[in-house]
Structures are given as C-alpha cells and as structure tokens.
Structure 1
Amino acid sequence: MSKQYLTAHTVDEAHPAEIFSLALTPTSLLSASGSSALRVHSTTDATFPLQQTIPNAHKLGCHHVVTARGGLGNVAASVGFGGEIKVWALHKPEAASGQQPEWQLRWEIPPSKAQAQNGNANGGVIPGDVWAVALSADENYLACTTSDGRIHVWDIAARERIQTYETGARGGGSFAMAVDLSRDGRLTASGHENGAVYVFNNDAGRMVYSLSGLAKPVRTVAFSPGCKRLAAAGNAGVIAIYDMEHGEHVGNLVAPAARAAWITSLDWNDSGEYLLTGSLDGKVKVWDVARGVCVATHSETDSAVWSVRWLPKSDRALAPGVPRSEMFCAAGASRSITFYREATGS
C-alpha cells in the first residue's frame, strides 16, 4: 500500500547557495548553506515565512545545522566549513514586549587546528577537523565527529569536553561522516567513510557495537524515536537497519533500480514507522520500515537533495480550517526548500 504526499509549499531561492542541512523545532525550520548566513522559517504558517536571518554565522558557509530530535527547540548547533562549531540559544522576550523570539550565539568551539595550536580548556589537544554534529534530546550534550574518526561529546552548560571515542589507533580512524545521539541519551552512533558503523554506550563510556552491512561510505545515521533501531545509509544506496538490543543487522531497505543513488540524509517519523530519505539523484522517498518497502517517491528536481526532515507533529494548524497532517521537507542543490503534506492526513 502506497502513501500519497502533496507538495504543500516551496520556498524558492531560500538561500543564495546550495542548502546542505535542515533542522526542525516545534515551530520553526533552520537551514544552512554554502553562504555565510543561517535562516529561520516559521512552520506554523502555511507560507512558511522567513522569521530570522543570522548574518555571518559562518564566514565560509555551513554544512551542518542540528536541533534536538524530540527536544524543546531552545538550542541549535551548526558547523562551518572553517571547522568552527557554534551553539545557538533561542531568546524569548517578554510577551508584553511584542518582540519575536530570535536565535542568539551562546558558545563557539574554535576550529580543531586552532585548538591544536593553543590547547583547550581540558589541557589537551583535539586533532582532526570537525564534520558532523548532533544534540541530545534534553539539549544538554553535543556530539561531533572528526576527519580522523574520533567522536567528541561536550557538556553544553559546562562548556567542556567530557568524552572522546576512538575508532582507530592513535587517531587513525576512518573519516567520521555522520553522528547521532539516541533520544534517551544512552547511545551515540557514528558512520564512517570506510563503511563502518559504531555504537557507543554513553554511560559506560565505551564502544558496544561495531556494525557490519555497508561496505561504502556512510553519510547518515539515525536512531528511531524509541531507540530500538538504528538506520544507516550512504554511497551504497542501501538503508541498513540494526537492532540496538543485540547489535544485529536485521534488514536492508533497497529500491529496485539498476544503480542505486547515494543516500545523503534520512530521518524517522515520530512513530518510528516510516523513514524519509533524500539522495544524490534528487529523489525523496518514504519507506515503510516494517514492510521493508518504499511507499512514496518524489522527484521534482534532478539536483542533489542534501537534507530531509519530518516536521514535528503539532496540534497547531497551519491555517484556520487546515488540519495538521503528516509533513516533511527537503532541500539541496536547487537552493529551494520544499514542504510535502500527507494527502489523507488527519
């Protein structure tokens, strides 16, 4: 059985450069691109209007922006092509002031090379260039990956690094291209250029699973909302599903095609029943995980799709008389952000 999604709205020319990353809060969408500014659109209005532009957020452009899945939407983090990480906080003025909430810089972690030259607050050196980043659901912890295969975990309130996971001897690990934190805070997962997927127990501070199943670069990993499954995908064009109780590879989601396109982004819906994927050939797909089949495909562009995200479910309607059905969004090389709505949603 297929599912039908309709194009609800497209924000044309949302950025002057390719859009590399999207992040959602209960009321807004943050987007990052090859340009220096971050942009914020409202998701409570059917036209998804621009709420805020953060100029010069990253001088060389930004390749990752994240919020906490299942979080309150008060913290965001972004990584620039210069290697810097910036943590943003949502400032909410007094209601009587009539001012709108806006994102403000809370903390910046300088590029790894600068830290290697100057040391850091912990008295050590952090080699390797930062790439992917993730936030815990409680918005207290930040995980980031490096080009030499390390995964660092930071305490945001304390502004200190509290954990480093190694995936190779003496920093000789494969480029860590993706990272995610489980919503219960127990697990960190990383995906690597050599096809490896690792899972770490944050309470024990050690690796618990080294997962097989993908032999090509892994570009995206994501825990299911219930933390029972992990999905990983990348250049193989296959979505590998792993059970987190025993670390078993329990299945693959594969589209029937002569040559599968690289999968660049994936996201679980709120119930954990469906996976959303974006790929290099411009296709956005919705997968029924239990049945192992693709139930919807959109290909409105031939340009690469770099990021896809489900919109958090909300009781708030987009407009009077218009109920909030299941929705997702996608963006990439076209520089536009497209929103899709389930045709039969309630």
Structure 2
Amino acid sequence: MESTFSRRSTDDVINTYLITTTHEDGIWGVAWGRGGRLVTGSVDNAVKIWNAEGGLEPLHTFHGHELGVISVATDLTGRYAVSSSLDSRIKIWNMDDKTHVKTIEGEPVEVWTVACDPHGPHVATGTHAGNVHIYNTESGERVQVLETKGKFIMSLAYSQQGNYLASGAENGAIHVFDTTTGRLVSTLSGHAMSVRSLSFSPDGRFLVSASDDKRVHMYDVHHGSQVAALAGHASWVLSVAWSPAGGSTSNVGAGAVDHIASGSSDKRVKVWDIRAKQCLHTLDHHQDQVWGVAYNEAGTRLATVADDKSLRVFSCQ
C-alpha cells in the first residue's frame, strides 16, 4: 500500500512499496523519468529501471560500469538515463529499447555527480579539481569547463528552465552559473561542510541545498541570499528534492509551494513545509543512510533510496 502525506500523525498514515532485493549493495542514486519510470544506481555497479506507475515492477538492469554507480539522471524526453560511476565514466542508456548508447570517458576522479541539461544534449559533472565539465551527449566530447576555483564538486543541479547550473563543493560553497554565457552569477555561502545535493524550485528562482552540517538551506538565486535554514536531521544531509507540485514560487513566503524532501545519514527522510519552513513529517522506514530522494514529474510521488538496498515510494497527494 502507498503512504499518504497529510497533516495527521505520520505513524497513522505511512505505508510504502518496498523491494528488499532491489540491488545487491547500497543505492546511491535515484531519478524519475517520464511515464512513471524510476532509475536507480547502486554500489553493485548496476543501473536499474522500474515501472512505478502502479506498483513497483522491475523493467531492466543495465550492466557496464566497473565500479559503484554514484548518481543517475534522466533527460527531458524521458527516453534516456545517464549514470556516473567511481570508474570515472558517464554512461548513457536508452530506456525504451534497453540499450547502451554511449560511454563518456573521464579522467580519474574527474567524474562525480551528473546532471542533465533540460534543454540541450548536454550533461554536467563535477570534478575533484573544483571544476564543472559539460559534455555533449551526442558526440561525447567535452564542450565547456566552468571554473569555481574551489574544492571538490560533490553536487550539481540544473534549473528546470535550463538557464542556471548550480554546483556544491566539499568546503560548503555553492556556485551558480548562467548556462548561456558560462558566467558565474553568484556564490552562495552559509554551509560549514560539504554540499551533497542541490535542487531548484520549479521556476528557478530558489535553490535548496543539503549539507554534512546537518542542515538544509534555501537561497534566493536572483539576489544571492540565504532565506532559510532548516534544522532537524541528526547527521549529514545527503539528498534534497523540491516538489514540482506547487508550481510558481513567485510568493514563497506566502506558501505557493508545498514540499521539499531531504534524506540523511540519520536514516530518516524529512518532508518540509516551504511556507512555514518547518518539518511536516519524518519518515524513518530506512535501516541505513538515505542517499537519494526524488519527486516524480507531477509531484505526486516521492522515491527514496538508501544503503539498506531498498527503494521506497510514497504518495504525496
């Protein structure tokens, strides 16, 4: 049975889909594609595709990475999945015909988290040297390097409009770039430790970040300022996602958007109310640290993955 987010006690309403044998090792990445498809990536080197339209049905397992999969993403068409691995490779997979499309070879420690450009054939990845590399997914060639002059880039996110690309570093710094010009728009401060995950609001005006300092921050991208700090996790915050269900955030302070979700090393997922800037629900169903949280396109479902090898899906209606 699915769970339902409500303002009642979490214990009264939470049930989940659970696949206990999802992967053979911890799951570090999760992403939704169109048509109810879910993509997961694991330390077991595999990328798996799931049909989450009704229940959870395994559709296919992609093999080819030689080391653990760090992150997964999907393109705007919903046809392709992209994965990055500790083997310093980016792989592109066709979810429709279940084939391997291309491998992009990176230099050692120069491929980490990946993010797909929502409006072009490009994928971004962070590097140990503190740069962001942009690759053309059709040719496999590196077409741009964005320099932060900082530390190891551990997280990336494109805005839905494709005009911004944000990177989070191990020293807590966040850099936001204009994707058209490659110009650094702003440097956002506030975190004291590594920024593990980033997610833009649906209209691209705001950015949320997850950090090892146990906090989730929200920033006004246009003004380069921090507008909220959400505290409540007991350990590193490893993942964050902004629900698309609320539409425009032109009036965030008045509660135009419903939720953001965060996952942590404390084994918990928290769902936050944007307007009130407080935790609505704490989901404690995982048995190990939660590496990934992701909303579907409609914002009606939330998928979570963890080192306990499980994938869980909650209803957010």
Do these two structures clear the TM 0.5 threshold for a shared fold by scoring above it?
yes
CA contact (8 A) 1:52 1:102 kept: no
What is the CA-CA distance between 1:74 and the residue it aligns to?
A: 1.3
Q: Which moved more, 1:239-248 or 1:131-140?
A: 131-140
Among 46, 57, 63, which residue is 1:49 paired with?
57
Matched, 1:340 2:314: yes
Amino acid at match of 1:312: E
Equivalent residues in 2 for 1:1-346, closer than 5 Å? 2=7, 6-26=14-34, 27-46=36-55, 48-55=56-63, 57-68=64-75, 71-90=76-95, 101-113=96-108, 129-138=110-119, 140-168=121-149, 173-255=150-232, 260-270=234-244, 271=246, 272-313=257-298, 326-342=300-316, 345=317
What is the CA-CA distance between 1:310 and the residue it aligns to?
A: 1.4
What is the CA-CA distance between 1:139 and the residue it aligns to?
A: 5.2
Question: 1: CA distance between counterparts of 2:283 and 2:120?
Answer: 33
Count of residues in correspondence between the two structures: 297
What is the CA-CA distance between 1:12 and the residue it aligns to?
A: 1.1
Identity of aligned residues (%): 28
SS of alignment partner, residue 112 of structure 1: coil
Question: 2: CA distance between counterparts of 1:250 and 1:14?
Answer: 38
Question: 2: CA distance between counterparts of 1:204 and 1:139?
Answer: 15
- Structure with greater Cα Rg: 1
Question: 2: CA distance between counterparts of 1:139 and 1:307?
Answer: 25
Corresponding residue for 1:320? none
What is the CA-CA distance between 1:279 and the residue it aligns to?
A: 0.3
What is the CA-CA distance between 1:211 and the residue it aligns to?
A: 0.8
Question: 1: CA distance between counterparts of 2:258 and 2:286?
Answer: 26
CA RMSD of superposed structures (Å): 1.8
Deviations 1:166-216 (A, max 9, x none): 111xxxx30100011111111110000011011111122111101111111
Where in structure 1 are there 5+ consecutive unaligned residues? Answer: 91-100, 114-127, 315-325
Where has structure 1 moved over 6 Å in runs of 4 or more? none
Deviations 1:12-51 (A, max 9, x none): 11001111111111221111111122111101122x1111
Amino acid at match of 1:254: A
CA contact (8 A) 1:7 1:338 kept: no
CA contact (8 A) 2:271 2:280 kept: yes
What is the CA-CA distance between 1:220 and the residue it aligns to?
A: 0.7
Distance 1:302 1:50, change over 3 A: closer
Deviations 1:290-331 (A, max 9, x none): 2100101110234111111112329xxxxxxxxxxx221211
SS of alignment partner, residue 279 of structure 2: strand
